[in-house]
Copies of this chain bind each other. A is one copy, B any other.
Amino acid sequence: MDLWYTEYHTEMVRFSIKIDKQLVSMQSEFQRIDVFESYEFGRILVLDGYLMLTEKDEFIYHEMIVHPPLAVNPKIKKVLVIGAGDGGTIRELTRYESLEHIDMVEIDEMVVDVCKEYLPHISCRLKDPRVNIYYEDGLKFVRTKQNEYDLIIVDSTDPFGPGEGLFTKEFYGNCFKALSEDGILINQHESPYYPRDAYAMQRAHQKIKSIFPISKVYQIHIPTYSSGHWLFGFASKKYDPVTHIDQDWWNGLGLKTKYYNTEIHQGSFALPNYVKELLANA
């Protein structure tokens, strides 16, 4: 059997993963959902043909979308997560005893069901008593909230298809309103490398920058994503993510992580010149 899953990073670049077998293929109201068993990366989740995560390296994405804001503000109690149907972001969040309440708003219940069945190591903490799952459109959910969350994490798909509304100025403005006076917004910020991705990144950044007084970007290595060079946005009403990190508190927690540590927290906000220029010209 010679079966390969291929993602086109551009029309001229493709990345292929050898597959043992397909585990499931479903069509929800919103998107096509596939899970494959691969040789190199364990199971992989694919939405509308795009690779969302692999068992081998999902830890990188999920640690780096969760731990930086928590290390910056140990007083965070109430969190809103938008998207994140695979459960990886919730798994990392629930490691913090200090968190009291986590709302997760995922538009597609079928993604959650598929991940519970086929990716149990990732969706393992969705039953934590602090977690409330809403199967709704995050865009609409956040409109009704005011001064309610200390942290919002936008763990979305790309800015086309079901995730498109999560890259609009209206949405970021509603996030600002839904956040407390020292609130933080983390969002997946695309990649700076290929022009189409970089353009999406610039548009997202320009909108967030126009709303939040502090708007930084940090980078990570995710080998199975387009170009392997991925960015997250850190927007905040009050805290600078580099100078305000509470290293002693975070290290005192004793959380075992495979990617995140307080040095890479700070190092990841140092960006290559070409990325800085793209962001400055956004």
| Interface residues of A, Cβ cutoff 8 Å to B | 4, 10-18, 38-40, 57, 60, 193-194, 219, 221, 223, 227-229, 257-261, 263-264, 266-274, 276
Contacts and interface: CB of A to CB of B under 8 A. Distances in A.
A172 B270 CA distance: 31
A40 to B, nearest CB: 4
Interface centre among A13, A193, A260 (most CB of B within 10 A): A13
**Chain A binding surface, main DSSP class:** mixed
Most chain B CB neighbours (cut-off 10 Å) among A17, A38, A272, A274: A272
Contacts of A272: 60, 221, 258-261, 264
A15 B16 CA distance: 6
B12 A15 contact: no
A274 B261 CA distance: 10
Report copies per complex: 2
Contact of A274 (B4, B259, B268): B259
29 contacts: A11-B18, A11-B39, A12-B38, A12-B39, A13-B15, A13-B16, A13-B17, A13-B40, A14-B15, A15-B15, A60-B272, A193-B221, A221-B221, A221-B228, A223-B227, A257-B273, A258-B272, A258-B273, A258-B274, A259-B272, A259-B274, A260-B272, A261-B270, A261-B276, A263-B270, A264-B270, A264-B271, A266-B267, A267-B269
Contacts of A17: 12-13
- Central interface residue in A17, A229, A271, by most chain B CB within 10 Å: A229
A266 B15 CA distance: 31
A268 to B, nearest CB: 7
A228 B223 contact: yes
Q: Taking each of A15, A270, A271, which has the highest tally of chain B beta carbons within 10 Å of its own beta carbon?
A: A270
A261 B264 CA distance: 17
